Amino acid sequence: MLEGNYKLFLQQQFTFVRALQHTRENARDTIRPVASISQVQSYMDHHCNNLTDRRILSMFLNICNDLSKLCHKLETLHPGNNATNELLERCKLLLNHSNDLSTIRAKYPHDVVNHLSCNEAKNHFGGVVSLIPIVLDCMKEWVSHAEKHMLRNVSGRSAVSEKRAPQEAAARSASSPQTPSVRSEAQTSISNRDCAQVQGNEHVRKKHVADRENHYGKLKGPWKPPGRHAF
């Protein structure tokens, strides 16, 4: 929306320059350059005599106001770093109504200055026509820096999460109690081992008793009177 308004304004740069020329003449202020937003505001408020001039000057001021609001909105969207903060501060300075614009010049690929005569570009309107394209470039650069910063943060958090995931899983496995199926299998194994041991012990005991009975039976035998032998 904002860039669309600027493109429409850009198509009417000649009308904008003529409006500035008319209002400067009405203000008897044709020597000094148009060097601030407040100067354009003053021309429109006090020295504008036709609707066409008022409309184009109002369009310029509205775009500057929208850009200023966007600066403050961008501050709330991203905490910022040195690069983004510096870009926003520059935008806010350029859009300050009393800031001197006489020395700024929009460079390639912008050609707004090239549409002026040498005298107009150097002495009168070079700064004011350069303001909006320079601010837009700063904001585009801000967006680029902010996106890179957020991507680095997201990538860093993902890498840390991936690195910690196996360690956390191992820790949970070591500290967590056995599942019911694991506990059941362990108990069954222990029970079977105990039964086998009991059965083995019982078998040994019975064998021992039998061996003992056989031994004592063979040694003693039935009682016989002395001197008599049974055949």
pLDDT digits (tens, 9 = 90+) for 72-112: 998 888 777 888 899 999 999 999 999 999 999 999 999 99
Q: Using alpha carbons only, what angle is made at residue 130 by residues 53 and 104, rounded to the nearest 5 degrees?
A: 130
**The pLDDT value given to residue 208:** 52
Q: Write out the DSSP string of 88-155.
A: HHHHHHHTSTT---TT----TT--TGGGS-HHIIIIISHHHHHHHHHHHHHHHHHHHHHHHHHHHHHH
**The pLDDT value given to residue 123:** 95
**Band of pLDDT at residue 162, cut at 50, 70 and 90:** low
Residue 113 or 227, more confident: 113
**The pLDDT value given to residue 212:** 55
Rounded Cα distance, 4 and 59, in Å:
12
CB 85 within 8 A of CB 21: no
Mean pLDDT, the chain, integer: 79
**The pLDDT value given to residue 109:** 92
Largest Cα–Cα separation, the chain: 171
Tell me, rounded to whole angstroms, the distance of Cα 91 from its chain centroid: 23
CB 158 within 8 A of CB 25: no
CB 33 within 8 A of CB 39: no
The whole-number average pLDDT for the span 136-158 is 79
- Whether the per-residue pLDDT at 36 is higher than 90: the answer is yes
- Whether the per-residue pLDDT at 57 is higher than 80: the answer is yes
Find the helix or strand (DSSP H, E) in which 5 lies.
helix 2-10
Q: What is the value of pTM for the model shown? A: 0.66
The whole-number average pLDDT for the span 10-35 is 96
* Domain edges within the chain: 1-152
**The pLDDT value given to residue 182:** 38
The whole-number average pLDDT for the span 161-177 is 55
- Whether the per-residue pLDDT at 171 is higher than 90: the answer is no
Rounded Cα distance, 40 and 58, in Å:
9
